[in-house]
Amino acid sequence: MTESYIQANGIKICYETFGNITRFPIILIHGIGATKETWKAQSEGFNKGSMWLLTIKGVS
């Protein structure tokens, strides 16, 4: 797991990556009222692939 930030158009977004980042990623975005932590349990099943968890703007 690696937590990082990306900034575009003045917006800073937090994301985490799991697994082999050289493979095609599965990108998971949480719903309103949740955080990227929502997807932590599923990350264990993707250890051979690549998974990115994004946090929507305004949620940490």
User: In this structure, are residues 16 and 52 in contact, taking their beta carbons and an 8 Å threshold?
Assistant: yes
pLDDT value at position 55?
74
How far is C-alpha 27 from the geometric centre of its chain's CA atoms? Answer: 7
Measured over the CA atoms of residue 39, residue 40, residue 41 and residue 43, the dihedral's sign is: positive
Whole-structure pTM value: 0.63
Q: What is the pLDDT of residues 10-45, one digit of tens each?
A: 888 888 887 777 877 777 788 888 888 887 777 666
Residue 38 in 3-state DSSP?
Answer: helix
Q: What is the pLDDT of residue 47?
A: 62
Which sequence spans correspond to the domains of the chain? 2-54
Q: Assign residue 56 a region: left if phi > 0, alpha if psi is -120 to 50, beta otherwise?
A: beta
